[in-house]
Amino acid sequence: MNLFDLVAPIYGRVRLNDEKTFRMIVKFGDFKKTDKVLDLGGGTARIAKFFTDIVQEITVIDASRGMIAQCKKHIGIICILGGAERISYSNGYFDKVIIVDAFHHFQNKEKAVKEIRRVLKENGKIIIEEVDFGKLGNWFLEKLETIAGTKSKILSPQSLVELFSKNQFRTRLVKESRTGYYLIGEKG
């Protein structure tokens, strides 16, 4: 059992700004009623729950059993226990992939990006919300999260762009606040 399993039952109550994050993602995502969307590392479906009415299919894949148990309490969301590094879907299945506050937890980021590319359609979109507290701040947060048992490695916004560019994504960054930003990418 990891920290996410433990906090899963209260996670939805302590994480605020769900709707604000959803609105930002919608702004960047150009979502269509026919879209199949994957929320990777989507946890309890805190964000995915807003998508049920606006897209054809919304799927959460998350590595925590506890988080997925909470996800399953929502109607209209496909909730799957699994890792970003091995996505159990066929090539080109999804129109869009979203990742909120989770990419820095993925253990093998190279593999995850390759999997995201594989399951996305041609010209499919990836929208990532990530944190950036600067070099020292990120180092400190990584230590805290690792002590808490969640393991994390926070890439700088530029390193995240490089990782996706090298995997043939066209990318852009949007700074959202002093400590948060979005990477928007399109499979080229």
Ligand X SMILES: C[S@@+](CC[C@H](N)C(=O)[O-])C[C@H]1O[C@@H](n2cnc3c(N)ncnc32)[C@H](O)[C@@H]1O
Residues making contact with ligand X (CB under 6 A) = 4, 15, 41-43, 46-47, 62-64, 67, 83-85, 100-102, 105-107
DSSP 102: -
- Which of 79, 187 has the CB closer to ligand X? 79
- Which of 97, 124 has the CB closer to ligand X? 97
Q: How far is the CB of 37 from ligand X (least distance, A)?
A: 13
For 103-118, b/e burial (b = at least 16 CB within 10 A) is bbbbeebeebbebbbe
- Which of 77, 84 has the CB closer to ligand X? 84
CA-to-CA distance for 178 and 169, rounded, in angstroms? 25
- Residue 163, SS3? helix
Q: Please give the residue whose beta carbon sits closest to ligand X in the complex.
A: 43
E-strand stretches of the chain:
36-40, 57-62, 78-81, 94-100, 120-131, 169-175, 180-187
- Which of 6, 161 has the CB closer to ligand X? 6
Which distant-in-sequence residues (6+ apart) come within 8 Å of 19 by Cβ? 50
Q: How far is the CB of 172 from ligand X (least distance, A)?
A: 21
- Which of 47, 55 has the CB closer to ligand X? 47
Q: How far is the CB of 30 from ligand X (least distance, A)?
A: 21
| Amino acid found at 168 | Q
